[in-house]
Every structure is written in structure tokens, then in C-alpha cells.
A and B are shown apart, each in its own frame.
Chain A
Amino acid sequence: MNSYERIKAALSHKEADRVPVYPILCGITRKLVGATYKEWSTNAEICANAFIKSTELFDIDCVVTLIDLSVECDAWGQKLMYFENEAVRPDYSDCVVKSLEDYKKIIKTDYRKSKRMMMHMEVCQRLVKELKGKKPIIAFVFGPLGVLSMLRGQQDLFLDIYDDPDSVKAAVKEINETLKEYVAALCDTGVDAVMLDTLFASGSIMSKKMWIDLESEAVKELSEIISKKGCLTMVHNCGRNIYFDAQIEAMKPAAISFLYPPDDCEDFYECKRKYGDKTTLIGCVTPADATFGTDEEWDRQCIEQIDAMAEGGGFILATGCEYPANASFERAERMIEIAKTYGRYTNLKNKYAVLQA
């Protein structure tokens, strides 16, 4: 099987030849082309070449274009900070939204005026040109509430949700109008799926009720557009206690990339039992562990994830969030090797048979 067939089988909840694997290699790929973080995250050719190089050097089964979480907020003129070896982030000392009054500034805008969004678009175009038919390409988009948090700062946004919820909701709606056109254009590049980051649909941040009230309708609209364009919606959320039920209800995602068990599951086994037939599970190795601990501990985590969630397909072995951008590639290679050896479904079937006996 090639990567396309393997991922397709996983998404269809069927067992492929082996467990598909993707250690979310994003910012780290800059090292493969000798670029700084700033170059990688501002130059489409460099960024796309780095992703392509990662597919040539490592047996990964897909590519997710997670550049950083500040791509979309650029459309509203958020001042950003660039670093040589760290991801781009907003300059929170100079936010676009400095007060409740400033929410009025957040109106639908033309994504084509944003250098960063257009750069991401070009990255997708280049990846489609080089990899279409070889590796599934998944465009990464931050959800509207997340984008608003980059324009306001999280802490102030959370207070504003209490102080002036209508202004927050109006801004989310305006941002989403922009994102709707943006995701449609991303789908038109020929990518296979769009992965929406719904960071706030998590018990580590806000209640399920609050998330549903603030963002679920907006991401539902995005997923409907993605579906109409013939692409798949996927979700990424690396928070603790994330809301699988509410997100599945809103977006009906083909897959969810996550780090911790959902709010209504004790562990990954229960997550598989409860949600394994509703969506494909992507994860859930702790990415920070790529930078310390022993190889054996890392390997054990990869194997535990396979044991918990691979049976019957519907699973992609991955890190629960981006692989550390300044780590070595060694642990990513180990994860890939484990998927190719331990993760062969013929081996796993024997194991399941023994367990059942």
C-alpha cells in the first residue's frame, strides 16, 4: 500500500497493511533545507521544499501544513514577532484589539491581502503539485475563536467573554466570514483535507457550553464549505479533556488529532470504544517526550497508543501536537519504524487473538 491507500483505509475504519504514521513534522523541517524559522514561515518555496524533503527522508504517510498559529491573524494587521529558532507569535504588547471598543475593528476582510495566508496558500499549491497522489496533504487552519485570541490576547479575551459577550461573538462571526473564503480557496488548491484547530473546545480552557455558544456554529459552517468542496474536515486540539462529542456534532470530522483522552473518557481505550466508529483517531504520543527520557520510554508510548487505538483501523499513530521544532529527528524515526514493524496489522491480529483467547 502507498500512503494514500493507507490513510484512506484508516479513514474508512479499515485495517491497512500497517498503522499509518505522522509525527507532525512541521517547524523542524526547516532544518532539512537549512532555513531559519523566519525564512521557513515567510517564504512559501522554502516552506514547501522543507515539507517535501521530509516526505523524501522519512516514511511519513501525510503532510499537515501547520506553520504556526499566527497565520490568519495577519489578515487583520496583528503585529507579529519573528525568531531564528522559534515559531512566529503575536506581539501581545501591541494587539489589534486593545479594548472592548476595538472589537468593532474586527470585520470581514479579504484574505488575499494577507501575506501570511497567501503564503500558506502557495505552500499548499506547491505541495499539491509535488505530492498529490503520493501523500495526503492536509491544510491547517486556526479556528475563528483562536484567531480572535491572537488579536486580543487570551487572558483579555476570556475576561471580555464575561464583560461583553456580544462583541466577542460578533468578532468571531466576522473572522469566520473571512475564514470561509480562505478555507474554500485552500480546498481549491487540491489539498485532501483541512484540519481546523479548535483549541478552546477543551476542558483545560472553557466549558463545553461556552465553546458551543462561542464557536461551534462557526466551525460547522467551515466544515460544510470544506465538505462541499469535496475535501475532508479534520480537527486538531491538544488541550486536556477536549470535547469530542460537541466537536463531532458540529463538524462531523473525518479525524481528530489530539493529545489527551477526551473529557468523557478515562483513557485512550475508552476513547476508542466510544468514538472509534465515529471518527479516525490521530495521536497521541506526548511530543515533549521527544526531547528527554529514554528511547525505550518513547517506544513504549508509541506501542501503547497502537495497542489502545489501532484495532480495526480508524487510527493514525502521531504525536499529539507538533513534534518539537528544535529536537533531533531521531525519535520521529523511531515512531515511524514502530508503525512499520510493530504496527503491521498481521502482527497486531496475532496479538489481538492472543488477548481475546
Chain B
Amino acid sequence: MGVIGEKFKKNEVYVPDVLIAARAMNSGTELLKPLLVTSGAKAKGKVVLGTVKGDLHDIGKNLVRMMMEGKGLEVIDLGVDVPTEKFIETAIADNADIIACSALLTTTMMEMKNVVDKVNQSPLAGKVKIMIGGAPVTDNFRASIGADVYAPDAASAAEVALEICRG
């Protein structure tokens, strides 16, 4: 998936190609899982991922999950329409490194600010990085709400997430 991610960033492969590659990778991973467990292989970091409250779009989020898993990160995918509290509870319970929020609508992207504000008021403040992305989201928007990272595409999201987890 690392190779696919690079090609995706360079517009050499596209969303349908990534989905097919991810499906193949998942089939392979299912076969290898028992061996990985017995060998004690560890994830390189942990990400809590979801589409924010009020937003039911999931393809972008799913691409991010596929790319992150391809980088060896553990992803806890909360799905779509995720309340802020759920992001925070899960990140605390699972000791996550990153909370990654997706939104496709201008009507729901402001929910990301809510996530940032609530994280800052929680025990996670300063301990977890908040990553945002989605079609209407920009780096200017990230700066305006105080999130840590904006990722313009799924491959970049995975790369930056890995960097964060590596410290």
C-alpha cells in the first residue's frame, strides 16, 4: 500500500485502483494475521479515525484508513456521524497518538472545531495530535480552528501520521 500511496499522490493511480489494491491487501492480511500475532509484530502507532457528527460520507475516511494500515499503523475506525465525545473517549481508552477527523460538507466541517475545543479541555490536551481532512477542508481552515495537521489526500495523511507516531 506504500507504493500505491506514492502513486496515488502523483496521480499515477486513482481511487478505484486504491480500493482494489486495499481489497487485495486485506485478503492477504487476513491470511497473515495469525502469523503476525505469534511473531509479536507491533503497530507503529494508533489512530482514532472517523467522519464527524452530522456527516455520513465515508469513502475519503476509508481511503485514509487503508493508507494508514498500509503504513503499519493501527486504526480504530469509528465510522461516520461520530460525536466529539466518542473520539475523545476512544482516544483515552486506547491511548491513541492521533485523532483523525474527516468531513465532506461545509455544513459539518465546523464540527471539527468542536473536536479541537473539546480535546483541549480534556486529559488528552497536548498528548494527542488532531488531524483533519476532506474535500472542503483547507490548511487555512486547520489554522483557524487550531487543529495540528491538515492532510490534502489519504496518502499524505498516512505519511504524516507515521511521522507523528515515530515522534
Contact = CB atoms under 8 A, between A and B. Distances in A.
A38 interface: no
Contact of A324 (B15, B54, B106): B106
B56 A92 contact: yes
Interface string B98-124: 000000011101100000000000000
Given A287-B136, A289-B140, A325-B106, A206 B56 contact: no
The size bracket of the interface on A is: 20 to 34
A85 B19 contact: no
B125 interface: no
Interface in A72-119: 85-87, 89, 92
Contacts of A161: 16
Contacts of B106: 287-288, 290-291, 324-327
A286 B62 CA distance: 25
A158 interface: yes
Interface string A171-200: 000000000000000000000000000000
A162 B20 contact: yes
Contacts of A291: 106, 109-110
A2 interface: no
Contacts of A158: 15-16, 19
B26 interface: no
A312 interface: no
A159 B23 contact: yes
Contacts of A267: none
A263 B11 CA distance: 9
Interface string B1-31: 0000000000100111001100100000000
A233 interface: no
A207 B14 CA distance: 6
A155 B62 contact: yes
A257 interface: no
A297 B139 CA distance: 13
A241 interface: yes
Contacts of B158: none
Nearest to A294: B144
Contact of A159 (B20, B140, B141, B153): B20
Q: Specify which of B20, B23, B59, B107 lies most central, judged by the most chain A CB atoms within 10 Å of its CB.
A: B107
A203 B16 contact: no
A94 to B, nearest CB: 13
A206 B15 contact: yes
A163 B75 CA distance: 27
Contacts of A92: 56
A154 B59 contact: yes
A325 B107 contact: yes
B58 interface: yes
A159 B19 contact: yes
Given A154-B59, A263-B11, A286 B138 contact: yes
15 contacts: A89-B56, A92-B56, A158-B19, A161-B16, A162-B16, A203-B11, A205-B15, A238-B135, A241-B11, A287-B136, A288-B106, A291-B110, A292-B141, A324-B106, A326-B107
